[in-house]
Amino acid sequence: MIFDEKTRALAESFENVPYHKFMGLKFVEAGKGFAELKLPVKKEILNGNGVVHGGMYYTLCDLAASAALETDKADDQFYVTHDINVSIFSSVNTGVLTAKAEVLKTGKRLAFVEARIYNEKDELLAAGRLTKTFLTRK
């Protein structure tokens, strides 16, 4: 995928966070109000039962939602997660997870985002609804 300068900078900032590097997060695509991320399944993100830890689904939904919001916010704004609800439908222990997020609605202070996580067969593994609160840098 060919990124414009702003999207390239966003991808680099996401991939260079130490936690994201540890996870193996890859920034795939972003545009106005949407983003797609990938995460390879590796042993470090598995739980005691040998499947992807539920917290990784939450993390991936949160990161995809953040990436989608980054594409359409004011330069002096940042955001925090206000509320997150993730439903996990199925588990995996191999492959690559794909997270796709879409901003559903933004207001002056809140944004509502939906994120979905798929396996390599494009089967839905988890879905999240997130509310993010916008704050202004001082």
| Structural domains of the chain in order of their starting residue, each with its CATH number | 5-136 (3.10.129.10)
Residue 50: exposure state from Cβ atoms within 10 A (0-12, 13-18, ≥19): exposed
Asked if residue 125 lies in contact with residue 89, where contact means CB atoms within 8 angstroms, the answer is yes
How far is the C-alpha of 28 from the C-alpha of 36, rounded, in Å?
A: 5
This prediction has a pTM of: 0.91
Burial class (CB in 10 A: 0-12, 13-18, 19+), 118: middle
In the block, tokens 């985002």 appear at 113
- What pLDDT does residue 14 have? 85
**97-102-21 Cα angle (round to 5):** 40
Do 106 and 72 contact (CB within 8 A), yes or no? yes
pLDDT of residue 1: 54
Cα–Cα distance, 54 to 90 (Å, whole number): 10
pLDDT recorded at residue 12: 87
Dihedral of alpha carbons 58, 88, 107, 35, sign = positive
Residues of the chain short of pLDDT 50, as ranges, are none
- pLDDT for the residue numbered 8: 82
pLDDT at 73: 76
Nearest-CA neighbor of 67 among 120, 105, 10? 10
